Copies of this chain bind each other. A is one copy, B any other.
């Protein structure tokens, strides 16, 4: 298991070659070295880094935020407080988005309940009525 070419890494990590080059442009990963012909050669443990990225994405972090997390992760002298702060900011962000969606869902629920569906034409549709500002 020596240096991986980008195609092998892509297969191992289940990502496309283009995505890997894209991550490199963003500074998320880098090949350990280049071959004489300029081919990227990766150490196998970059796969761990890619898994880090995927897990962080699943938690809602953007690639830019993940770059910060990776930088902190690579600096043993850095404080866990910074990671915690990023995490709490993300929690706040997610909570705000949830609240927005909850508000929409409630409004839509109320309207859908009132709507008689196929027993009426659009003229009597309370959903369209609300969108047309018939109440308030």
Contact = CB atoms under 8 A, between A and B. Distances in A.
Contact of A104 (B58, B112, B116): B58
B128 A73 contact: yes
Interface in A67-90: 69, 72-73, 75-84, 87-88, 90
Contact of A83 (B76, B79, B125): B125
A133 B48 contact: yes
A129 to B, nearest CB: 10
A104 B59 contact: yes
Copies in the complex: 2
Interface stretch (A18-26, A33-41, A91-99): A91-99
Contact of A48 (B60, B116, B125, B132): B132
A68 to B, nearest CB: 12
Contacts of A108: 59-60, 87, 90-91, 94
Contacts of A104: 58-60, 94
A128 B95 contact: no
20 contacts: A52-B133, A58-B104, A59-B104, A59-B107, A60-B101, A60-B108, A72-B125, A75-B122, A79-B118, A80-B118, A81-B118, A83-B125, A83-B127, A84-B118, A84-B125, A88-B112, A91-B108, A91-B112, A95-B105, A98-B101
Nearest 3 A/B pairs, CB to CB: A81-B118, A80-B125, A80-B120
